[in-house]
Structure 1
Amino acid sequence: MARILYSLAWWLALPLVVGRLWLRGKKEPGYRLHLGERFGFYRQSTAKPFIWVHAVSVGETRAAEPLIDALLQAYPAHAILLTHMTPTGRATGQALFGKHGARVVQSYLPYDTGWMVGRFLRYFKPRICILMETEVWPNVMAQCTKHRVPVALVNARLSERSLKKAQRLSALMTDAAHAMTIVAAQTQADAERLSSLGAPSVHVTGSVKFDVTPPEHAVEKGRVMRSQIGSRPVLLCASTREGEEALILDAWQAAPASNTLLLLVPRHPQRFNEVAQMVQERGLSLIRRSAMGDAPVSVDTRVLLGDSMGEMFAYYTACDLAFIGGSLMPLGGQNLIEACAVGKPVLIGQHTFNFAEVSDDAVAAGAALRVSDATEMVSVAQGLLSANAERGVMGEKALAFARQHRGATTRTMRLLRPLIGIERL
């Protein structure tokens, strides 16, 4: 009964959902493309059997890279069906996997109604559904059960806050959890929370994000960017969220004068212009990454706005120190692993509940420091940027921390093999 009411609510809300999609398309035109896919209508080729991987947006898509590479190598007769919910996730998938041609087919996952999801499954006939991290939908789970498609939730994480929300929808989420075939959790705490929700066969495999290798072309792009900036220190504020940029810029404006460059990279591209306006309103000299060209960055420039997609590893390469956004406000934080993988010291705020264990472990390993607010973040950053030896030690510990936790992809593949079937020996 709960799922029937949930499905009815979806159908009633569809006009509003479509309207919101169209409005979002004003800022981000990608939301107005491939609309038929969101309703279960497709044109993609289905010549090869599919291994379906769902990565909702940018972070999940980047995290899926080592797993998808392993699947492509192990199952040469199959294609990967890579689904998303956001155009930025789709663009990231194209950037990462476009080189594989028809072996990686991209699509939007349809809205979570039984009819649309059923049509999706009948069209693509995937051998398995592999969900990245937290993306569990009641009708997707029910339709996979109906069509006998095994479901694996991999790189799975579930914060205490998300568990409480799921428990308030227990009739829906318990059924969805029971429909999973196997779960590969990032941490023991994630595994215990997922088990308490009713998920069967839960294993701790670690985070596949540790297995992401910084692409050489991105690293080289970062070196070029750094040569344009010059020798002045660079503080990167990565994946900042709405509300955080104002706090950071106010703290930056009030800080004692220095020649440090603030490299500010908002998480959502539709906010690039909004953040640029914030910088200009504070009278801080600004250059946008999209306008840099080959010219050097003026020593008078206080803020470089990272208004590009797919260059996060380049930004980490170009900086001396990285603050990870989403953590100054109660937003749950973002992934700090990529910064560590490039050997950069990390600063994080107090609100990292979505990545609690990895954040705590990074602090314990000496790879990261916690700060209480934006003012302290800027103060600590300036101190580290003037202490080359201390910052160098932190960077070495960050790199060691990233290397120490590799291997989740191999452990995850070991769990997936019996569900997919024959592979190349």
Structure 2
Amino acid sequence: MLSTLYTTSIRLYQAALGVASLFHPKARLAVQGRRGWMEQINAKLADNSAPIAWFHAASLGEFEQGRPVMEAFRQQYPGYTILLTFFSPSGYEVRKNYAGADFVVYLPFDTPENARQFVQRVNPAIAFFIKYEFWYHYLRELKARNIPVISFSAIFRPDQIFFKPYGGFYRSFLRFFDHILVQNPQSVELLKGIGVTQVTLAGDTRFDRVKQVADARKDIPVARLFKDEKPLLVVGSAWQADLDVLIPFLNRFDQPLKVIIAPHEIHDDEIERWRSQLPGQTVRFSEAAHQVTLAPFQHLIIDNVGMLSSLYQYGEFAYIGGAFGKGLHNILEAATFRMPLFFGPNYGKFQEAVDLAKAGAAFPVSDSASLETAFRTLYEDSAALAKASFTSGDYVTRNTGATSKVMEVVKGLVISRS
């Protein structure tokens, strides 16, 4: 009965997305990308004779979590073909040409017939689901075919449906996994409490990924020249709600400070509005190369994508956007460069933000006044700044290594099934 309701909800979602595709570009991409999915897969796999390792990510953030494991798997098992699937266009459209996978496709919607046809055609030797992905028919089909399935970088909370008295159907999803590698001890205890014991505390593979990114950082001469050896605040993945807090603070702040602002999405009208509201002189990145000197400018607004992770290397402070809206963006890319972090109040679902706030390296703020108070405290106290900065970077260093734990589980499953 519940499986029928689940399947009906999937079909209704698919239908609703079809209607939405008439009006919304993102929904249109999701629908068009799945059209003729079996023909796409047949064409891609036509000449493949190697065993397939299937990795599935919901979107771009989960892809970044999974990337260290995909790359480690490629290195340790070069004889496998890697198939990467995405649920969301925001992952697929950005990473459809990812060189670390042999094939990249959308995941067909989780109906019984789609799952059966997909798993039968792909016939993976092993499957990986990253963080939050729990699809009933796919997991059931993989289990029925005795294909090992791993979930990694998973995190569980008491308010999730798995742990409710009425969550029995959803608890069955978790028993389809051969192994679940989780981020924190609370997740281990929650799973054991419902009888799921094939669990390992491994941590979060994002720590390994941000270390890779930091090690591969690029020098950005414009940012270096703009900094001009002055204290620098890097604002990453900013939305309008973040600038509503930042702009009043920056207009009041009367000490030497350079600010780089990287919007989460690039909109010219929004950037120009911010420029008109910021104090002092502001330059866009696309204009900066034409300036004789960048020293007079107080604010640099990034009007391109792809360089934020490297920009953090120049900062003494970081503000991460998103937490005045639906949720906080990636804070680890900034933390790895050893700086205190500031962000809005909606951060409770992000373990690293909770940990860093408790440790005194991150400072949640509720408005412009609380941001100013927290920022001035560190700006004016070099010892407090040094302590917060060290704690931030040390947290990332101490938590690397999840990928190797995932690969230990993989080794056991590959050997046992070979």
Corresponding residue number in structure 2 for 1:2 = 2
SS at match of 1:354: coil
Q: Which is worse superposed, 67-76 or 222-231?
A: 222-231
Q: Which is worse superposed, 16-25 or 205-214?
A: 16-25
Deviations 1:168-206 (A, max 9, x none): 872441221222221100000122234445544111111
| Normalised TM-score (structure 1) | 0.82
Corresponding residue number in structure 1 for 2:371 = 377
Corresponding residue number in structure 2 for 1:34 = 33
Deviation of 1:290 (Å): 5.3
Q: 1:283 to 1:12 in 2, by over 3 A?
A: same
Corresponding residue number in structure 1 for 2:390 = 396
SS at match of 2:400: coil
Corresponding residue number in structure 2 for 1:146 = 144
- Counterpart pick for 1:84 among 77, 83, 86: 86
Deviation of 1:131 (Å): 1.1
Q: 1:354 to 1:2 in 2, by over 3 A?
A: same
Deviations 1:140-182 (A, max 9, x none): 2222223332221101112344x15873872441221222221
Q: Which is worse superposed, 413-422 or 402-411?
A: 413-422
Q: Distance in 2 between matches of 1:184 and 1:251?
A: 43
- Counterpart pick for 1:68 among 67, 70, 73: 70
Please show how residues 25-424 of structure 1 align to structure 2 within 5 Å: 25=25, 31=30, 34-36=33-35, 41-42=40-41, 43-45=43-45, 46-90=48-92, 92-93=94-95, 97-98=98-99, 100=100, 103-161=101-159, 163-164=160-161, 167=164, 170-196=167-193, 199-212=196-209, 213-215=211-213, 219-222=217-220, 225-240=223-238, 244-252=241-249, 254-267=251-264, 269=265, 272-273=267-268, 275-276=270-271, 279=274, 282=277, 287-289=283-285, 292-293=288-289, 295=291, 298=294, 301=297, 303-328=299-324, 331-356=326-351, 358-385=352-379, 387-388=381-382, 390-421=384-415
Deviations 1:367-395 (A, max 9, x none): 33343434322442354345555434432
8 A Cα contact 1:251 1:374, kept in partner: yes
Q: 1:309 to 1:50 in 2, by over 3 A?
A: farther
Q: 1:398 to 1:322 in 2, by over 3 A?
A: same
Q: State the identity as a percent.
A: 20
SS at match of 1:139: helix
SS at match of 1:136: coil
Deviations 1:243-285 (A, max 9, x none): 6335334434553345534333344x3x645743652574666
| Normalised TM-score (structure 2) | 0.84
Unaligned stretches of 5+ residues in structure 1? none
Q: Distance in 2 between matches of 1:85 and 1:191?
A: 27
8 A Cα contact 1:54 1:132, kept in partner: yes
Q: Which is worse superposed, 210-219 or 406-415?
A: 210-219
Q: Distance in 2 between matches of 1:22 and 1:221?
A: 43
Which one has the largest radius of gyration? 2
The one-letter code matched in structure 2 to 1:384 is: L
Higher relative contact order (CA 8 A, sep 6+): 1
The one-letter code matched in structure 2 to 1:36 is: R
Q: 1:219 to 1:423 in 2, by over 3 A?
A: farther
Q: 1:78 to 1:388 in 2, by over 3 A?
A: same
8 A Cα contact 1:167 1:173, kept in partner: no
Unaligned stretches of 5+ residues in structure 2? none
8 A Cα contact 2:232 2:259, kept in partner: yes
The one-letter code matched in structure 2 to 1:321 is: F
Cα-Cα RMSD: 3.5
